[in-house]
Every structure is written in structure tokens, then in C-alpha cells.
Amino acid sequence: MKKKIFKIIATISILVIVFFILLPTLLNKAGLHPDYNSKKYSFSEKKAVIISTSHTTLNKPGETTGNLTGVFASELTVPYYEFTDSGFEVDIASIKGGEIPIDPESFFYAVKTNSDDRYLEDQILKEKVKNSILIDQLEIDNYDIVFIAGGWGAAYDLGYSETLGKKISEAYYNSNSIIGGVCHGVLGFINAKDSLGNLIIKNKRMTGVTNKQIKELGIFYTPQHPEEELIKAGAIFESKTAFRDVLANLTVVDEEFKFVTGQNQNAGHETPQKMMEILKNKQ
């Protein structure tokens, strides 16, 4: 009887171990961080800036404490290496400048990407993340690509920043620039206005994190939600769904070829790739 119980326990233990070993592969096959055949361009004298949240705490309304949060690592690291591998000089900026908080959960082994591993060994990018540029100081016209990363922290500050709204407006009217973002990063577009005070993204096709995904993850208490805010701003919101929307994926290019948006972290490769394709076609 004891031997039988021991064998059962041993079998269950082995199955559990195998499951955890295979978990990253299983999630990938289900749709998380899908494989993407990235094209390496040969841009020279081109510059990009990646803008991030500065918010550190996943707190509920009226609370000041909560789990640590910030930018979701892959939403910064994946586009960064997409751009640098194609010859871009890439700056990192944030709402408050200085050290950018990275959501510790984004380094969990089952969701960590190759770009995250690369970041952890990259002293140059680490230094840029530690000493990010204050968005107020950005000379936005110097950049061919303006990209906004997401993560839960972005729900607390990107959409409330008038400075960021002005910078996106300036980038919009710069004929040389392409603007993009993924996940909660698209909240950085909602305050951009034209010379008459109208919201720039009105009637533009866009995507971002769905309400369904936020509800499924149990974090609907953040102050802003991309689907809601984009619709409020008059954007034509598009999305795809899955058994769980964290496994869905979509990249949308607007009719002007000015904005490129990704639904969530799964669009981390495709969104910057589409931006570079547009830039290449303009040359």
C-alpha cells in the first residue's frame, strides 16, 4: 500500500514538473508572445524614442499601496531591439524621467521573452531605463519613430499627461514621423489635439487592450482602460478575441499610415515592424 501511494505521489510530482517545464511553450502555442519572422532593415541616421509610464503601484481607487507595477518589460524590450537591430538610435523617455519601473511579473519565466533576457545582460539599455529622458525635454521632431510602451502603470499616467498629448500632436504634424504603441501605451494618444482643439485620433482605426482582457485578469480597477478611452476619443476601435484575450493578437494601421497600434504584448514584434515598413516605403 505504501509503495502504491509512493508511486502515485512520484507520478504526480513528475507530471507537475513536466508541466512547469513545458508551460512557456504551451502558452506560446496558445498565442502568448507568438513567434514572428522579423525583418532586419538597414536604416542609417534614423532615431526612435520609446516612451514609458513612471507609475509604480497597482493601487485601487483611494489607496496608495498595492503590488509593484510599471511598464510590462517586453513592451519596451521587444520594440527596442526591433529598432536597434535595424540601425536605429533609440532613446528611452518617461512621464517623470529617471528610473522606469518595470513590472516584476513580466520577468516570470513563463511570460519572459528572449528580448527580456537580452535586456538583463544589456548594460546600455539598463542605463537608459535607469536614466530615462523626461518627456518635457524631448525634441520630438528629432525622431522618425515615436513608440509608447504599455503595462498596468500606463493606466495611471499616460492618459492624464497633457505634455505627452502635446508631444504626440507635434509628432503627428511632423511629416517624417510614424507613431505607434501597444497595450495600455495607446492611452498616450487620447490627449493629442489639432490646431482647433479637436482630438487627433477621432475616426482613426486603432486597437489596444480590450475590456474583456482586463476583466479576465481581474484588474478592472485601474483608472483608465484603452478600449473605453479610445472609443471616448472617437477612435474606431478594433480587436480580436480568444479563449482568453491575453492570447489574442492584432496590429492596426490607420488609413493615413501615421498610427500603428498593437492590441497587447503579443503585438510587440509586429507593431514596430509595421512602423519600419511604412518608414521604408516613404523613402
**pLDDT, tens digit (0-9, with 9 covering 90-100), for 243-268:** 999 999 999 999 999 999 999 999 99
Indicate whether 218 and 160 sit together in one domain: yes
Indicate whether 77 and 5 sit together in one domain: no
Report residues of the chain scoring pLDDT below 70. Answer: 1-3, 6, 8, 10
Indicate whether 156 and 265 sit together in one domain: yes
Indicate whether 73 and 24 sit together in one domain: no
User: Which residue intervals of the chain are DSSP H helices?
Assistant: 2-30, 73-84, 114-120, 123-130, 154-157, 162-172, 211-216, 226-232, 270-282
Domain count, the chain: 2
- Write out the residue range of the structural domain in which residue 135 sits: 45-282
Indicate whether 23 and 117 sit together in one domain: no
Indicate whether 83 and 147 sit together in one domain: yes
Indicate whether 77 and 6 sit together in one domain: no
pLDDT at residue 2, rounded to an integer: 66
Q: Is residue 61 part of a domain?
A: yes
pLDDT at residue 182, rounded to an integer: 98
pLDDT at residue 61, rounded to an integer: 87
| Nearest in space to 194 (alpha carbons), one of 231, 177, 169, 230 | 169
| Residue 70 CB contacts under 8 Å (≥ 6 apart), including other chains | 52, 53, 55, 56, 100, 101, 102, 103, 151, 152, 153
245's grid cell: 484575450
Indicate whether 180 and 206 sit together in one domain: yes
